[in-house]
Amino acid sequence: LSLVKKTDNEARSSEADEDDDEVVSIIKMLLEEQVRPMVQEDGGDIFFKSFDEKTGVVQVKLAGSCAGCPSSTVTLKNGVENMLMYHVPEVTRVDEVLDEEELNERTLSFNPTD
């Protein structure tokens, strides 16, 4: 039972699809089976958004308590990115996708003089 309500598009984007190539299928499987259960234990969620074959960049969306959490960057880089790069050599980086509202919230909360 997920504590985070996900949209139909997010649910579909995270699940393996017969149209996915092999690399995307592996990325989605790892996210679904290895990452999501741990993230969900903390009240968050993670969804696959895209994989750029040319750059090796995976884009994911964080939701629930993970969205905007200061620890989410550490989790994303040290956990998700390292794991995906280890298992999928084509992956070079993992980036979080922010919607406009989240981007505005983070921009407003950033104060370089602190």
Neighbours of 86 (CB within 10 A): 10
Most trustworthy range by pLDDT among 3-7, 93-97, 107-111: 93-97
43 contacts 64 by C-beta, under 8 angstroms: yes
Residue 29 has pLDDT above 80, yes or no: yes
**Can you give the pLDDT at residue 77?**
84
Q: 0.85 cut: is pTM over it?
A: no
63 contacts 90 by C-beta, under 8 angstroms: no
47 contacts 63 by C-beta, under 8 angstroms: yes
